[in-house]
């Protein structure tokens, strides 16, 4: 089953798998990169990588309105339940743990970052996400610095690697190139850049550098709203 990936913008990603729509980090209304509104999002599932406002985003209003499933680490799930979301829609996982959610096997990965929630609550360790179907493996690195275990996540083959290149808060272009060397994906999409001045980057220049230095990896620089099929 093919997967359609849409770059909503910044660190927000949408996947259509069969008749299921999965939103990773639904930062919509305040996201400078998109004109979409949280009101028009109708996911079947939200995955939250960490508690920062540009990732937790509009999780609560979207989940409350749609009743969709929410996957996150245990600490964020507990916090979401305390904010009034229905425990039946909440699915806690943690780093290294995967679960077959029907549309895909979803595993949380290491991410080196922070994860405080908007009210200052502890959000546990931040995460990335592996999404695996019978045909495709997708690795969304999330907000993270570079780490050597990325090589392991790439060992079984990654069809699509969504990688931050913004620098300052996450990997910059140089470390993202090293991440590409380790993960060796078929396709790579840069994210988490150009949203604000501290993370301005030339993604096209980065794509050219990857093409020159890591043959076999295709970089797709997407504008917010663009999609591709894996
Ligand atoms: Ni963050
Ligand atoms: Mn972020």
CATH number at residue 204: 3.60.15.10
Q: What is the average pLDDT across 82-93? A: 98
CA of 163 to the centre of ligand 1 (A): 13
CA of 13 to the centre of ligand 2 (A): 13
Q: What is the average pLDDT across 12-38? A: 98
pLDDT grade, residue 1 (50/70/90)?
Answer: confident
pTM, rounded to two decimals: 0.98
CA of 191 to the centre of ligand 2 (A): 10
**Backbone phi, psi, residue 49, to 5°:** -80, -35
Scanning 110-166, the segments in alpha helix (DSSP H) are 150-153
Q: Tell me what pLDDT residue 75 has.
A: 98
pLDDT digits (tens, 9 = 90+) for 148-199: 999 999 999 999 999 999 999 999 999 999 999 999 999 999 999 999 999 9
Ligand located closest to 31 CA: 2
- Structure-token match 């996400």, residue found: 129
| Count: domains in the chain | 1
Burial class (CB in 10 A: 0-12, 13-18, 19+), 184: middle
Q: Which residues surround ligand 2, an ion (CB under 5 A)?
A: 11, 54, 143
Domain that holds residue 94: 3-229
Q: Which residues surround ligand 1, an ion (CB under 5 A)?
A: 52, 143
Q: Are strands 227-229 and 20-24 parallel, antiparallel or unpaired?
A: unpaired
- Find out whether 192 and 170 touch, Cβ atoms under 8 Å: yes
Cα–Cα dist 40/191, whole Å = 22
Ligand located closest to 27 CA: 2
Closest CA to 165 of 124, 195, 125, 122: 195
CA of 38 to the centre of ligand 2 (A): 18
Q: What is the average pLDDT across 5-28? A: 98
**Backbone phi, psi, residue 59, to 5°:** -55, -45
pLDDT digits (tens, 9 = 90+) for 54-63: 999 999 999 9
């Amino acid at each position: 089953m093919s997967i359609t990936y849409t770059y909503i913008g910044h660190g927000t990603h949408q996947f259509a798998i069969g008749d299921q729509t999965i939103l990773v980090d639904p930062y919509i209304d305040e996201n400078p990169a998109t004109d979409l509104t949280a009101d028009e999002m109708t996911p079947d599932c939200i995955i939250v990588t960490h508690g920062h406002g540009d990732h937790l985003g509009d999780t609560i209003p979207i989940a409350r309105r749609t009743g969709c499933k929410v996957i996150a680490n245990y600490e964020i799930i507990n916090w979401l339940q305390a904010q009034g979301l229905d425990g039946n829609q909440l699915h806690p996982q943690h780093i290294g743990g995967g679960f077959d959610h029907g549309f895909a096997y979803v595993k949380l990965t290491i991410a080196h970052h922070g994860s405080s929630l908007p009210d200052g609550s502890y959000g546990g360790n931040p995460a990335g996400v592996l999404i695996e179907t019978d045909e495709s493996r997708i690795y969304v690195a999330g907000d993270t610095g570079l780490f050597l275990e990325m090589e392991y996540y790439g060992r079984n083959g990654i069809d699509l690697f969504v990688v931050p290149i913004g620098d300052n808060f996450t990997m910059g272009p140089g470390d993202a190139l090293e991440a590409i060397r380790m993960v060796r994906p078929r396709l790579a999409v840069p994210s988490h850049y150009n949203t604000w001045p501290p993370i301005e980057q030339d993604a096209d220049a980065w794509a050219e550098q990857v093409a020159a230095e890591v043959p076999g990896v295709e970089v797709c620089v997407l504008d917010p709203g663009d999609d591709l099929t894996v």
